[in-house]
Amino acid sequence: MSDDQSKPRLALVQFPGSNCEWESKRAAEAAGMDCDVFRWNLDPEGLSAYAGYIIGGGFSYQDRIRSGVIATKEPIVARMMSDIAEGHKPALGICNGAQVMVEAGLIPGLHSGDVEMALAPNRPDPTHRIAGFCCRWVYVKLACDPQRCAMTTKLQTGEIIPIPIAHGEGRFTTRDQAVVDALRAYDQIVFQYCDADGNVEDRPEINPNGAVANIAGICSVEGNVMAMMPHPERASFLGQVPTDLGGPWSERRREAWGDADALDQPGPGRAIFESMREALVAAQPA
C-alpha cells in the first residue's frame, strides 16, 4: 500500500482459485488507484477502509457446483453487498468476479438480492461440439450512455474496444425475456460483443459464447457496479495488444515496437480503470 493519500483506496478481493489479482492490481495502480489484495479470510470489517472493490478473474473454489456460487457464501461477500447497497461504493467484477456478482444477486439487481441471470457454459459451435474454454481477443462496443455506468465515464459513446476473453462459462442468459427487456429499458447493457466495425450480430465469430443480446457486461440499476466477462486488465497496456489484431490499436502496438516506454502506455482497457478511479474519488467522503 502506498502512502499517497490522494489516491483512492481499492480492495481487490482474492478467493481460493483466483488467478488474476496481480494483473488487476497493476492495471488499477497504473490508473491512479492505491490497490490492496484483500484475502477472503481476512476480517470483513477491514473493507470499511476502502472506497471500492474489484473481484478479479480465475476459478474460485475450482468452479465447483457453478462458477462463482461458493464464493458468494463467504462473509466477505455479504459485507461487500452491504457496502455497495448502503454506501454506494463502486465495484467491478471481471470474469469469475462477474460470475460471483451474478450469483450474489448484485447484477443485474433489478430486484435486490434476487438471482435473475446466469453465466452459463459457452454455446456449442455450429457442429454442436461442446465449446469449452474460449481464450481469444474479441471486440466489444459500449452499448450504454458513458455516464450511465461508473466504469465507462472515460469512454466515448459507442466506442469499440478490442479485449481478451478467457472463460468456459461466460454466457449471460436468462429464461425470462422480461429481464432482458428491463436491461434495455434501464440502459444496463454496458458492453456487447461486436465485430471490428461495431456490428452486433449473434454469430460465433462475433458473439463467442452465445450470450443473450450479445451481452459482455452489465451494470447495476444504480450504475455503481459492473460485471463483465472480458478482461480489461489484460488490455490495460499497449504492449498487451496483439500486433496482428488489426485496427488502430494494433497499428499503435506495431509502431511502439522496441520502445519500452511506448509499450507501457495505456491500452484499450485502461479507460475502464480510469473511469473507476474517477468514481472512487467521487464516492469518498469530503
| CA dist., res. 194 & res. 217, Å (int) | 13
The three cell numbers of residue 28 are: 488499477
221, 109 contact by CB (below 8 A): yes
Q: Which of 203, 21, 219, 237 is CA-nearest to residue 108? A: 219
The question of whether 233 is a catalytic residue gets the answer yes
Asked about 95 being catalytic, the answer comes back as yes
Q: Nine-digit cell at 129?
A: 461440439
Catalytic residue among 35, 95, 149, 219: 95
Q: Known catalytic residue: 231?
A: yes
3-class secondary-structure state, position 132: coil
Catalytic residue among 88, 116, 231, 278: 231
Neighbours of 43 (CB within 10 A): 9
Catalytic pick among 21, 74, 103, 233: 233
User: Would you tell me how many other CB atoms lie within 10 Å of the CB of residue 100?
Assistant: 28
Print the SS3 string covering 238-251.
HHHCCCCCCHHHHH
**For the stretch 144-181, what's the b/e string if a residue is b when 16 or more beta carbons lie within 10 angstroms of its beta carbon?**
bebebbbbbbbbeeebbbbbbbbbbbbbbbbeeeebbe
Supply the residues annotated as catalytic.
95, 231, 233
